[in-house]
Structures are given as structure tokens and as C-alpha cells.
Structure 1
Amino acid sequence: MHQRLRTAGFAILCAALAGCGGGDDAARDMNIERQRENLPTAGMAERESFLSLFTPVDESREINVNRNLWRASLDVLSMFPLEAADPFSGVISTGWGRVNGASAPYRATVYVTGPALDARSLRVAVFRQSGGSAVAVSDQVAAQIEDAILTRARQFTVAAQGPR
């Protein structure tokens, strides 16, 4: 008797979990694909295995991103919780956070691509949460964040040069 109840309970649990997926699969897949298009891919070809965690770190490895762009990106996005930041690949990814009383939470991914203090060395993708999925915001919002990062990076550069 207990075995049948346990089996029935397990079957009900499995059915309940199977129903948790919900939503439109095509819309979810399209949204995931849109997010992948906006994410930076540099350094993805050189995947590390689990065993590489135990090998010594190469201290001669250089950071090939602009230091001031990196610092400015972290400074401008400081209102969001930081999820990941890798100065070797130039990727900064934030968690969901609200901006100035906005109704929906936002998140951003910044990709610093090179050593030059230039707009071509910076890519920003911004998403807002809508109905449990991430939706890309307009290019104008991303451009405004890029401008704020570039302005802050120039301020860092001028401050580092000192008075003339």
C-alpha cells in the first residue's frame, strides 16, 4: 500500500514539474537567440576544462582592454549587482536591478574589446525584464550608457595625466 502511494506521489511530482516549463517555446527560443547575438564571444573558443582549474596560472598573460574603459564601465554600472567581470576577455555582466524608480528591472552586459579609448572598443547590451523573460531595449538606451562610460573613461584619463 505504501509503495503504491509513494509511486503515485512520485508520478504526481513528475507531472507537476513537467508542467513548470510553461510559456511559448518559440518566443522563449527567439528571446534566448536574441540574447546570444548581443553577448560578446571573444575568448569563447578557448574553453577551459574542469582540470584546468588545478593548473598554475600563467602570470605573463596580459589584459588587452583599456583600463579606463574598464573602470568607467564598472563605475557607471555600479547601480546594478555585479554578476561577472573578466578583465582578460573584457566582459562585465550585471544582474537585474531597477534604475531611478523604473517599473521593470534591467540588466546590462558590457564588452570592452580593445586597448584604445574609443567607442569602437566598447559594446553595450541592455535588457529589461518583461513577463519573466529578457527583452532587448532600444539602441538609444545602449548608446546613452556607452556615452556615459566613454565620458567617465575620459575623466579617468585626464585625472591620471595630472595638471599641466
Structure 2
Amino acid sequence: MTATLATSAATSAKFLSLSLRTGVVAVALLALGGCTFGKTRIHNPIHIKHHRVLRTSQVLPPSNITTIGVNAYLWRASLDAVSFMTLTQSDSNNGVIVTDWYANPANPGERMKLTIAILDKDLRSDALRVTAARQLAKDGVWVDAPVEAATVQRFEDVILTKARDLRRATLIK
């Protein structure tokens, strides 16, 4: 009977030891599941037995982040650039932002309306198109006026610069 108890205790200890080791391996795999190696980034360094898993090099995150229908950096930068204007349409799947007429309080006799189209999933300068409409108040009536090409170019430059900054900000330091 004592031999049976000893064998049973040894079997239980082996089973417990195997279960414990399996559990530790499972927890370690779950912890490492969020990490990637190579040229992609590790979101959070993980400590395992006082060793730190680190990235070997800092690289830019991919330029075609698309959890929506278009490039997420360009989308966010576009929304930031026109945040002072009221939006009449915003479609993240098709990449279209349309603002309402905006009159600068310093110049109430002039107003502008913007349409921003994001055309690609990559962060590229040709993936963005900004069009503007301008009107002037004459005798109480809004009359269409030409928009300087430099105005549209400035908006595009602001959006592209913000998008690049957002992409750089995603680096882990």
C-alpha cells in the first residue's frame, strides 16, 4: 500500500511539474505574442527572468497603415489641418473630407470651403488632393472668386508635414 501511495505521489508530482512548466510556457508565449522581431516594431519590451527583449534597430513604421479605407496618417493629418472648420462630410472609407464655408473673423467679407481627397493607402504626396472654393461678399451677395494655387499648395504641405510627423511619432524611443 505504501508503494502504491509513493507511486501515486510521484505520478502526481510529475503531472504537477509538467502542468506548471506548460503553464509557464503558455504565459511566456502569450506575453511574446504581441511582440514582433526583425524590421517591425515591438510595442512593449517584455521582461522574462530579468532579461529584456529589445528591438535591434529603429525603423519607421509602415507607411500604409490602413485600419480605415485610406492611409491613417493622411486621414488624421487632414482632420487636424481643418479642425478649425466645420465639416459637412467625412468619409474615412473613401477618404473624403468636405468642410462648410469658413469666414476668417479678421476678414468676414471672404469665405472658403475645402474638399480633401485621400487617394491611396500609402503615405505619398500624390495620394492627397486638396481643392478649395472661395467667395467674396459684394453688395450682400456671395460671389465666386478665384483661389490662388499657393493656398491649396500650403494646405497640402501642412497635411503632408503633419502626416510625416505622425508617422515618426509612432517610433518607440
TMscore range, shorter length: 0.5 to 0.7
Instruction: Say which of 135, 142, 147 aligns to 2:157.
Output: 147
Distance 1:90 1:123 in 2: 10
Instruction: Say which of 111, 127, 135 aligns to 1:121.
Output: 127
Distance 1:125 1:115 in 2: 20
Distance 2:146 2:122 in 1: 27
Alignment partner of 1:105: what SS? Answer: strand
Residue 99 (structure 1) shift:
3.4
Distance 1:109 1:158 in 2: 26
Structure 1 unaligned regions, length at least 5: 1-61
Which TM-score applies when normalising by structure 2?
Answer: 0.54
Q: How does 1:54-133 map to 2 (within 5 A)?
A: 63-99=68-104, 101-102=106-107, 103-130=109-136, 131-133=141-143
Structure 1 residue ranges, 4+ long, deviating more than 6 angstroms after superposition? none
- The aligned counterpart of 1:53 is none
**Structure 1 counterpart of 2:164, which letter?**
R
Distance change in 2, residues 1:89/1:133 (3 Å)? farther
- The aligned counterpart of 2:169 is 159
* Higher-strand-fraction structure: 2
Distance 1:91 1:113 in 2: 9
**Structure 2 counterpart of 1:149, which letter?**
I
Structure 2 unaligned regions, length at least 5: 1-66
Q: Aligned residue pairs: how many?
A: 102
**Structure 2 counterpart of 1:153, which letter?**
A
> Does the 8 A contact of 1:82 with 1:93 survive in 2?
yes
Alignment partner of 1:161: what SS? Answer: coil
Distance 1:114 1:136 in 2: 28
Q: For the pair shown, which has the larger CA radius of gyration, 1 or 2?
A: 2
